[in-house]
Structure 1
Amino acid sequence: MKKTWLLGLGFFSISLTWALYNAFVPLFLSNYLKSAAMIGFMMTIDNYFAIFLQPWIGHRSDKTNTRFGRRMPYLLIGMPLGAVFASLIPLHTGFVMLVIFMVLMNLSMSLFRSPTVALMPDITPERDRTKANGVINFMGGLGSVLAFGVGSKLYGISSYMPFLFAGIIMLMSMFVLKAVIKEPITLISNENPKPRKPVKIKEQLDKTTIFILAAIFFWFVSYQGVEALFTLYGTKYIGMTEDAASFSLVFFSLAFLIFALPSGWLGSKFGKKKIITIGVIGLVVIFGSLVFVDSPLILRLLLVIGGIFWACININSYPWIVATGNEESIGTRTGIYYFVSSLAAISSPPLLGLFIDIFGYPALFISASLGMLLALLCLFGASSEAKSKVIGNG
């Protein structure tokens, strides 16, 4: 668990950087673009990289064999580049330069995200992976909270300061990970000269995996749509101020952060599929109930409960998708996981936004509830049996 907490530094730095990026880059873009839709499109660059690059990088890391390990080379290249280009973003001198720095930062972050995530199951026995995922998601959530708390103060000093802070944290995290995390010797030694059988993506798409991926897509469609459009819902439909509407989402996020560790423990004790199913059923009810709520107090109370159910889903889903394959396919399955979740992130806001345009704002939570219901139906076709065999715990 000590190594897991230290590995969480990688997720801490990633979440910190992305939170600052999402908070302040739209302000830079607004100096050049007047269309909110165009600014929103520019902010989805990372999801396009996640769709096309991260699955390949994750698959590639499965086949990598160096003295640094399978995953670490990607961290040693991607994290310094990500730190440099993140720090350069506020120093842009025009729109073209801003876009170049954004693209280069997104490209650099894509180089190491899947390998960083894949390190967790690499160094953790299968029985402990849900608890470990709770730890690293807790660290990631802590990074986001710190970004909003410290980043806003630093931005008041200079627009450059938050990004320099993120770059320094990322470099420090890289040095700690390099010093502490040692990948399993059986994966990088020459004691067994027989080469590993190449992992083929098509072979990973068995029936159980396809059902799990479909469920992941539907629950991320629900979650991403609510996250992206909730402020509009709160202001236009409930009548809240912009500050009050955006602040309401903090209740959901904090509940997720607080319940990240318990949900990992529950998944480890009672089974990942069972806890995920409870979370999905819970959000079907919560999202469906929010349609009838116009009180900010009750809305926030339901969001707290919803954050707990979301933790049950999100903390256990990645270890489950990994557990249904073998150890050699961890990077590949990590990439596929991010492909599906990023596809949902791209398609969800315009899809649920279209439903709002046609049927009105109540369609937001009706659609989100239906998305969770579709995810629940997919869970019925997925087996909870894990195929992976633990090679070592590093």
Structure 2
Amino acid sequence: MKLNYAKTIKVGLAFAVIMVFWSAYDFVVPLLLENAYGLSNSLRGLIMGLDNLLSLFLLPLFGKISDKTKTKWGRRTPYIFLGTIVSVILMVFVPVTANSSLKQGMDLREKITNTEVAGYLYTDHNNIVYTNEDLYTMLYNEGATNSDFCDRTYLANNGINSLEEYLQVALNPTEVNEDGDTVQTADYKKFVNTGINNYASTQVFEKVTKNNMGSLVAYMVILLLVLIAMATFRSPAVALMPDVTPKPLRSQANAMINLVGGLGAAIAFVIYTVTFMINPTGYIAIFIAVAASMLILMGLFLMFVKEPKLVKECEALCAEYGISNDDIEEKTVDASGETVVFTDEETKKKKKAMFISFVLILASIFMWFMGYNAVSSNLSIFTTKTLNLSPGISGIVSGISMGISAIAFIPVGMLAVKIGRRKSIMLGFALAVLSFFLIFFFASNAGPASMYLFIIFYLIAGFGLIIANVNTFPMVVELSSAGDVGKYTGFYYTATMSAQAITPFIAGLIMDKWGAKNLFIYSAACVLVSIVLMFLVKHGDSKAPPPKKKIELLAADD
């Protein structure tokens, strides 16, 4: 039995539709919230979490509803079509609602950060008037308790041990380069720029957002409507793969589905990277391009995927090999990786053990998404505010990660065939934990060295989490039957979305209180818990595809 790669790629187009949106959403929306509204890390995380809270309830619901749907187009296709149409209509209004605040916020940032103008004076929300020297002195003093304004430890490690030495850098922010252009000095970028930009964000919130709360409310309402529309078809789209794929081939199929999803993510990457390079505030253009891409991918899906036909082909293939997607799991894998065969008398005991494993799998998924989403939802903020990269360069970092992901999906799918899903997942988790610790210690300050180290470590973490991502969903649906794949898909997304509803706020609190780099300690701790939970799992691992049919074996002898 071999996977039909062409068919799986076509089925994956539905997931590509989803990934175009979510890749743009994860990278662009935090920047929009930051630049338009100046929200703190915790407030921004709370808003991102509230968005996911809706999905927590809607994804299982629509997964279960689609299980019971019967139309001439199949169970899943109607939801994919209608959900995409409604989503693309609504999403264009997301940046429109924030546009006025964005313009005001960017103007205020320019006023605060342009400290070289003659007679510089800035009046904050408490009517305190600062000269440029007063402003930098305040930032340095605040750095004693808030490293986001001035990282005093980082300064000391680089030989800046006093206010006077700091002011020497801060009050001389520019120089003339070889081409005669005025540019920021390297020391200002490393030691001052991040702090003054963080301060500017607090002022945007105090002086712009608080005086125009209607813009933020309108933004949230539209965004929630978009997320409701997206939630109506995410579970049906993902459940389609198990519908048309025999159980033994699902890890490989899920790798291909994720590869096609990576194509969607790559499209989003090109859109927001090119747009930010041309116009750092081109959010409306980004959302229009994302909406158009989703429509094109959905059109290709409808053209190439005839769901009822594919379901019948899968049923025929399962019958040919003597397997059924309705069967409960016939084998289990113990903690040492050995296969154990249960007798009929042990069926009741086995079902209980399978349920325990099911809960442990979901708990492990929940914890690794707590760690993963804490980083992914703050990636654009960390790279632009802490590493001091431009949004365009930050987008390239994200794109490199996507490229590595695309390369990795195929071998990762084969890895599960060789060593099993469970061991593959724990290996991936271990790589992520190691990488997060390395980022914390060696790649969490501004400067070229930190940037390159961050890229390397982040790619390693991403590769590890790809291994987990490819194999966790098949472990969940391995314990389902053909009649409730959508429901189990909903359970999977309950775990992932509940984590994504909670973790942005927790991560934001940690970043606000202890500094941005501690985000990676939090993420590493979450993934460590995932390893422990996955170690206890005994069911849901991959089983070898059945042997060739007798007629094939006879043909081979000829």
Q: TM-score, normalised by structure 1?
A: 0.82
Match of 1:257 in 2: 406
Is 2:78 the partner of 1:83?
Answer: no
Q: How far is the alpha carbon of 1:135 from its aligned partner? A: 1.8
For residues 258 and 530 of structure 2, the distance between their equivalents in structure 1, rounded to whole angstroms, comes to 22
Match of 1:242 in 2: 389
For residues 345 and 15 of structure 1, the distance between their equivalents in structure 2, rounded to whole angstroms, comes to 16
Is 2:433 the partner of 1:284?
Answer: yes
SS in structure 1 of the partner of residue 71 of structure 2: coil
Give 5+ residue unaligned stretches, structure 1: 189-195, 197-202
For residues 44 and 524 of structure 2, the distance between their equivalents in structure 1, rounded to whole angstroms, comes to 28
Q: How far is the alpha carbon of 1:159 from its aligned partner? A: 5.1
**CA RMSD between the two structures:** 3.5
SS in structure 2 of the partner of residue 206 of structure 1: helix
1:1-394 mapped onto 2 (5 Å cutoff) = 1-25=5-29, 33-36=37-40, 37-92=42-97, 95=215, 98-153=219-274, 160-181=284-305, 182-183=307-308, 184-185=311-312, 206-229=355-378, 240-243=387-390, 248-294=397-443, 295-296=449-450, 297-356=452-511, 363-385=518-540
Runs of 4+ in structure 1 off by over 6 angstroms are none
CA contact (8 A) 1:69 1:187 kept: no
CA contact (8 A) 1:129 1:268 kept: no
One-letter identity of the residue aligned with 2:20: L
SS in structure 2 of the partner of residue 241 of structure 1: coil
One-letter identity of the residue aligned with 2:387: M
Q: Deviations over 1:215-264 (max 9, x none)?
A: 1111111112223445666678xx63233677555554433332122211
One-letter identity of the residue aligned with 2:234: R
Q: How far is the alpha carbon of 1:58 from its aligned partner? A: 0.6
Q: How far is the alpha carbon of 1:26 from its aligned partner? A: 5.5
CA contact (8 A) 2:437 2:520 kept: yes
Q: How far is the alpha carbon of 1:153 from its aligned partner? A: 4.1
Q: Which structure is larger by alpha-carbon Rg, 1 or 2?
A: 2
For residues 110 and 230 of structure 1, the distance between their equivalents in structure 2, rounded to whole angstroms, comes to 23
Match of 2:135 in 1: none
More helix by share: 1
Q: TM-score, normalised by structure 2?
A: 0.59
Q: How far is the alpha carbon of 1:318 from its aligned partner? A: 0.8
SS in structure 1 of the partner of residue 70 of structure 2: coil
Q: How far is the alpha carbon of 1:313 from its aligned partner? A: 0.8
For residues 508 and 283 of structure 2, the distance between their equivalents in structure 1, rounded to whole angstroms, comes to 32
Q: Deviations over 1:329-352 (max 9, x none)?
A: 211111111111111112223324
Q: Deviations over 1:357-394 (max 9, x none)?
A: 56555543333222222111111221244699x9xxxx
Q: Deviations over 1:101-136 (max 9, x none)?
A: 323221111110100000011111222221221222
Relative distance call for 1:273 and 1:233 in structure 2 (3 A) is same
Q: How far is the alpha carbon of 1:164 from its aligned partner? A: 3.3
Q: Deviations over 1:10-41 (max 9, x none)?
A: 22222212333445555666687443454554
CA contact (8 A) 1:324 1:387 kept: no
For residues 222 and 124 of structure 1, the distance between their equivalents in structure 2, rounded to whole angstroms, comes to 30
Aligned length: 375
SS in structure 2 of the partner of residue 291 of structure 1: helix
For residues 33 and 494 of structure 2, the distance between their equivalents in structure 1, rounded to whole angstroms, comes to 26
Relative distance call for 1:163 and 1:210 in structure 2 (3 A) is same
Q: Deviations over 1:271-323 (max 9, x none)?
A: 21121111112223222333332442333322222222111111111111111
Deviates more, 1:89-98 or 1:366-375: 89-98
One-letter identity of the residue aligned with 1:52: F
Deviates more, 1:36-45 or 1:291-300: 36-45
Q: How far is the alpha carbon of 1:98 from its aligned partner? A: 4.1
For residues 385 and 245 of structure 1, the distance between their equivalents in structure 2, rounded to whole angstroms, comes to 38
Deviates more, 1:284-293 or 1:331-340: 284-293
Identity %: 29
For residues 27 and 435 of structure 2, the distance between their equivalents in structure 1, rounded to whole angstroms, comes to 27
Relative distance call for 1:204 and 1:81 in structure 2 (3 A) is farther
CA contact (8 A) 2:12 2:258 kept: yes
For residues 235 and 110 of structure 1, the distance between their equivalents in structure 2, rounded to whole angstroms, comes to 30
One-letter identity of the residue aligned with 1:290: I
